[in-house]
Structures are given as structure tokens and as C-alpha cells.
Structure 1
Amino acid sequence: MSDDNSSSDCRIPLRNLVNLVQCVRDRVKDGESNESHGDFNLPNFWETLAQAAKSTSQEATKLSLAFSKPPLPSEQDAEKMAESFQKSILALSTVYMWFPKSQGMTLRRIIRDATAQVLEGVVQLIDVILSTPLQSLSQEQLTSTGSVWSSCDQFAHLPKDNQAAVLSLLTSHIAVVKDAIEEMEQAQTEALDPFSDVLDDEDLDSRGNRDTYWSESDRQLMAPCRGLMKASAACLRKLTAAVKSNGNVNSSETIAQLDDLADITKDISPSVDDLALSLYPPMDYSGVQQNACKVAGVLVKVLEITRASHVCLEADQSWVEFLSGAVDHNLQKVGALAQGCG
């Protein structure tokens, strides 16, 4: 058999494998979990998932090495490697599908995304092997192999229950809102012209357009808007502390309440970003007011759901009430100033 034919033949199992992995990846992204009948053992789930991820990582290494130097594997050997890789892929996806929704949708989505990332990495690795000259180890192949290793390793660092999963999301939301507040405050304090750092000196000299500056009435309107943004950050910080101290995963009800908190808080940072963007000149007061209402509406829902959940103890009622009052106060000020200046 010629080298060309041998090369062509050993690619066939890889093409079949990549088609299967793509199907498994799509099923993981869109499929439903297999609800467990009886007790679900969470520690056993994590142990089995870690073993499946380790096996997938090892199979990726074996395949990458086999197609990185001569002699190329025979079609029979390539078929064996593909079958072994297929088993590890199916095991990984099957273990993920064991995870029931009742253990937490927030955690399930995190595990789903991590599993899908592994499968996507495997698809990319096989595509690289198929599209580059065989018997050579390209930088792209090294990178793709490393990507599979990294995505498999991340399972060890995922949150292990729904409380930890919700905490990880809340922490990420805090960082985004904090950045939006700091960016807005920096733009206000550093220069009268928020666009001076993105325009040439010639443009600055020749331009007298007040639409790139904040007027005094603009700045007055910005104050309660910043108040809403700071209330958003405070709400996320307080809720994070409450979930950390009081959250539990001892029942399907408390797990579902944590999911509700995760679902509603995801709207905070996008609404804060929209409000911050609308504050740049030229300022459309009606648009600012509309975005302020969106922020306030989200915060009201977050505080209502928090108040009704198990994470809100009697001692937490005071900050919930305080923030509710702060949201209402700032929203009223935005409305009055927007109407008076518009």
C-alpha cells in the first residue's frame, strides 16, 4: 500500500470520530438531564466525572502523539484509538447527563458548559490533525492538545454544589458592576471632556461641540444615576454575603431558591452597563430615565426574591429595606431631574 493510501486510510476513523463528537456536543448543549430515581450521590458524581475527564485528556494525548511523527498508525490502529477515544467521550457526556435539575440548574449549566468546552476542543484537535500534513507536530496541534488538557483540568475547579455555583456567578457580577462604576467616576473626575483620550489634538483644537461635554444639568442627573449603580453593587455584595452565610442545598426548595436568585441577578450588570453608556454626552434624558427605570426594576425584583428566600434571615431585613428605599429615592430624583431638564 502506498504512503498516500495509508495516510488516507488512517484518516477515515478520525473523520468518523469527529462526526460522532459533534453529535455528542450538540446533544450536551441541547439535551435534558436524566432525572435520577432515588438518591443522587453528589460526591460519587464528581469522582466519576473527574475520571471521565482524565480519560478524555489521556486519549487526546495519545491521538495527538500518534499523528505527530512517523510512522503513521495503520487504519486498524487508528480505528482502535478512535474507538477508545469514543468511549471516553461518551462516558464524559453520559456522566454529565446523570446530573439532575433538582440539584440546581445554575450548577448544571456550569457543568454543561465545561463538558461542551471539552467536546468542542476535541473537535478542533481532530480537525487540526486532519487539515495539516501528517507526521508533523504543528504549533496549532500543540495548542489544540493543550486546550483539551486545560478544559479537562477545569472540572477539578468547578463549584461542587449549587450554593457555590451561585456564589461564583454573583462574584463575577460584582466585578462587572464595579468596573462600570469606576469607569464612569474616572471619566467624570479626569476630564471635562470624556472623549479627549480618543481624539487627536487637532480634533480637540478645532472642535467646539458641546455634545462631547457634560453640562451642569447633565452632571446633576448623573448623581442619582450613580446612586442606582452603587445600589446595584451594594445589593450584589449583600446578597453574596447572605448566600455564603445562610444558603444551603439541603432540599429541592432551597436549591430552587438559589437558582431564582442566580437567574434574576444576571440582569443587573447588563442594565447597569446600559445606564452607564446612556450617561455619556450628548445625553438623551428620556433614554437615561428609561435605563434608570430598568436598573430600578431589576433591583426591586432581586430584593423581593431575596426577601422571600431562605438566605434572608431576620437580621438581613434591614439592608433589604434600606436598599429598597435607596432605589426608590434615586429613581424619583432621576425622574424629576430628567423632566425638569429635558
Structure 2
Amino acid sequence: MDDCSKIALSCDKDCQCHLVAKQFTNNVLTTLEQIKGETAWKIEIKNFSRLIYWDKHSNLLALLHKEVSKLSVMYTTPPLPKCADEKSLFDGITQCLLAMISSLYHLPQEQGQTLFKQWYKYNISLLSALHEFSVSLWNSQNVAQCTGAVWELCASGKNLPKDNKESLIVYQKQELALVDDAYTELEMAKNTYESGRTEAESMSNYDLSVLVAGFGLVKTAKLLITKSLKSIKNNGHADTVTQITDYDVFYQQLSSTSELVDDFAASLYPPSHKPEVKSSATSLTDHLSCFLETFRQSHFCIETDGTWTTVFENAVKHNHDKVSQLVT
């Protein structure tokens, strides 16, 4: 039996089948486009309470999970709902949609650009999943899969960062993972070439020297991210505007690290091209120096961090000099 025949068993004669469901789909799509094009986000909200805001948000996700589950069962278990009953069925999820819009608009950017950016992306993903779910209800395709996608996002939303410090830590771990990938691949190549295996026979001693010297700079970058992450976890706070802003400033500096490491690491593989190695080494060195300076100016850099930041400053310069001597 096709979809139209199934609907006919549940609907009155001359019914415009799933009109309410399709209208909800349009509303979700309109909301998604509105948020993507929005520029007038609130900077601050008087008497904003972080605790109350996130408590309400958690309740909203739980309610959305419940409403999606209800509709999923109703549209996959015979008899299918009559179209005349759809309005009441969609009242709950419609209220969730309105609450989702309101929630994002009431997260002030003074709580942190890094935090807002993370939740903005999350809401885009959730609305996109909700749109696909609503479509699946009236075309009777992939309902279980689309339901699961919304459930998964509702669950993950409860574990997302609730302040700017937590948001930066998430991004920094992601950046560290990318840098670690480049480091690991480069280490494997270095070990292969140093071992004198067959695949390394075509590599010159000069190329090997450049790779080994460059590996030291990549290793320094990886350790610098790791060490600064530990300090942020231990010493960071997100209670004042200044503290919150520190994370945004540091994020801007952090965000391009993995890309610069990848560019530099790629230039080290034989055969070496001197101008490319020199240029990418200088770019990464300048970036790491700014990285250190930005860290030092933040509230999460305390007095005891002075020793290791000086050590890393010298390590950056030392490793850059080693590369520079080989490619100049």
C-alpha cells in the first residue's frame, strides 16, 4: 500500500493531507534561514543568569526529545493520525521550535564569542536535523533514522560547553589533535628515513637534515598547545568580561595553528624546496611567538608560567634557527 492509500484510511474525504506537518517543515526551514542570515545578535542582557539560562536550555532539549519521540511513534504506528488531528499533535514541537529561537537570541555575546560560535553551529545542526525529521513524517521515508539524528543532537547538547572557558578548551583539544596528526606522520617519515629502509634510499642527507630540524619546530608547537591547555584548565576563570574576552583573543590566535603546522610539515617532505621551507618555517615561528605573547597577556597565565613560557620562547627560536641555517 502506498503513502496516499495509507493516508486515505486515516483522513476525511477531500482532506489536504499533512498540511500542518508540511507547514511545520516550512517554519523550520524559515527559522534556519533566518538564523543563518542574522547579524543583530544581542551583545548583553541585563541581569543575565548563566545558571537559569542553561537550566532552561536543558529542559528544552528534554522536551524536544519527548515531542520528536511522540511524533515518530504516531507516524510509524498504524493507524496513522488523521490530518484533522495534526494541529494538536504539532503544538508541542512548534512550541519547542519557538523556544529554540528565543534561546539563541537570549545568549548574549558578552558571554563570549567562542561560546556563542559553538552554540550557533549546534543550533544550525539541530534545526537541520529537525527539518529532515519533519519531512520524513509526511513522506514516510527514513523516519527512524531522522528521529535518531535529532535524539543524538539533543543528547550531545547537554554536554556542550556552558561558558567561554569550556568552549576554548574544546576548540584547543581539536586543534591539538590536528597538530598531533601532523606530528605523528612527520615522526613516522623521519624514523623511516633515518632507518635507511628501501623507501628511504632516494633521500639525500640534506633532505634528512631539513626534515629532522623541522620536526623539532613541529614538536615545539605541539608541546606549546599542550602546556597552555593545562594552564587554561587549572588557572582560567569565566566570571568577568575581561576574563571571558581573554578566551576569545586566545582562540583567534590558536585557530590557525594546525593549518600553519600542516603547511610547514608538508614542505619538509623530500625533495626539499628551500623557499617553501623557509617561508612556512617563518610563518609558523612568527605565529608561535604571537601565541606565546597572547598567552602571557591573559589572566590564565600566572607567575609560575613565566619559566616554561621562556623555555618555549627559546625553543621556538632555536628550532627556527636550525631550519633557517639549512635553507638560507
* Fold agreement, TM-score > 0.5: yes
Contact 2:193/2:208, CA 8 A, preserved across alignment:
no
Q: TM-score, normalised by structure 1?
A: 0.86
For residue 136 of structure 2, the aligned residue among 128, 147, 150 is: 128
Work out whether 1:18 is the aligned partner of 2:25. Answer: yes
**Residue identity in the other structure for 2:214:** C
CA offsets per residue over residues 271-296 of structure 1, 9 Å max, x none?
A: 11122222223332211222212211
User: Is the aligned partner of 1:115 residue 2:123?
Assistant: yes
| 2:261 equivalent in structure 1 | 272
Determine helix, strand or coil for the equivalent of 1:9. Answer: coil
Partner of residue 286 from structure 1, selected from 259, 270, 275: 275
Cα distance in 1 between the residues matched to 2:45 and 2:116? 17
Q: How many Å separate the matches in 2 of 1:37 and 1:312?
A: 29
Which of the numbers 85, 88, 93 marks the counterpart of 1:77?
A: 85
Residue number in structure 2 paired with 1:310: 299
Residues 87 and 281 (structure 1), Cα distance of their counterparts in 2 relative to 1, 3 Å cut: same
Q: Deviations along 1:19-43, whole A, 9 cap, x unmatched?
A: 1112222333443433444221001
* Aligned partner letter, 2:253: I
The residue identity in structure 2 corresponding to 1:27 is Q
Secondary structure at 2:147's aligned position in 1? Answer: helix
Match 2:46 to one of 38, 41, 55: 38
Shift of 1:83: 3.3
- RMSD of aligned Cα (Å): 2.6
Superposed displacement of residue 150, structure 1: 0.8
Question: Is it true that 1:94 corresponds to 2:102 in the alignment?
Answer: yes
User: Are the counterparts in 2 of residues 10 and 73 from structure 1 also a CA contact under 8 Å?
Assistant: no
Q: Residues 291, 273 of structure 1: CA spacing in aligned structure 2 closer, same or farther, 3 A cutoff?
A: same
Distance (Å, rounded) in 1 between the aligned partners of 2:195 and 2:276:
21
The 5 Å alignment of 1:319-338 reads 319-338=308-327
- Preserved CA contact (<8 Å) 1:192 1:213: no
Return the alpha-carbon distance in structure 2 between the equivalents of residues 147 and 195 of structure 1. 47
Task: Give % identity.
Answer: 25
Separation (CA, whole Å) in 1 of partners of 2:77 and 2:223 = 57
Q: How many residues align?
A: 320
| Corresponding position of 2:167 | 165
Q: What SS does the corresponding residue of 2:18 show, helix, strand or coil?
A: helix
> Structure 2: how far apart are the matches of 1:156 and 1:126?
22
Taking the aligned partners of 1:114 and 1:94, their CA distance within structure 2 comes to 15
Aligned pair partner of 2:72 in 46, 52, 64: 64
Shift of 1:174: 1.7
Question: Which stretch of structure 1 is more off in the superposition, 29-38 or 246-255?
Answer: 29-38
Q: Displacement, 1:130? A: 3.4
Letter in structure 2 aligned against 1:180: A
2:285 maps to which of 292, 296, 305: 296
For structure 1, which runs of at least 5 residues remain unmatched after alignment?
A: 133-137, 197-203, 205-209
- Cα distance change of structure 1 residues 130 and 215 upon mapping to structure 2, 3 Å threshold: farther
Equivalent in the alignment of 1:177: 179
Separation of aligned partners in 2, 1:306 and 1:78 = 56
Which position in structure 2 is the counterpart of 1:149?
151
- In the TM superposition, what are the counterparts of 1:223-234 in structure 2 within 5 Å? 223-234=212-223
Tell me which residue corresponds to 1:258. 247
CA distance in 1, matches of 2:248, 2:7: 55
Distance 1:190 1:217 in 2: 15
Task: Confirm or deny: 8 A CA contact 1:193 1:214 kept in the other structure.
Answer: no
Q: Which amino acid aligns with 2:233?
A: K
Distance across 2 between alignment mates of 1:244 and 1:273: 26
Please name the residue that 2:234 is paired with. 245
How far the C-alpha of 1:162 sits from its partner, in A, is 1.3
Using the TM superposition, give the Cα deviation of residue 9 of structure 1 relative to its aligned residue in structure 2, in angstroms: 2.6
Instruction: Show structure 2 runs of 5+ residues with no match.
Output: none
Cα distance, 1:189–1:3 mapped onto 2, change above 3 Å = closer
Distance change (3 Å), C-alpha of 1:220 and 1:309: same
Tell which deviates more after alignment, 3-12 or 67-76. 3-12
Distance 2:196 2:24 in 1: 54
CA distance in 2, matches of 1:195, 1:99: 57
Change (3 A) 1:141 1:27: same
Normalised by the size of structure 2, how large is the TM-score? 0.89
In 2: Cα distance, 1:194 partner to 1:291 partner:
27
1:214 Cα deviation after fit: 2.8
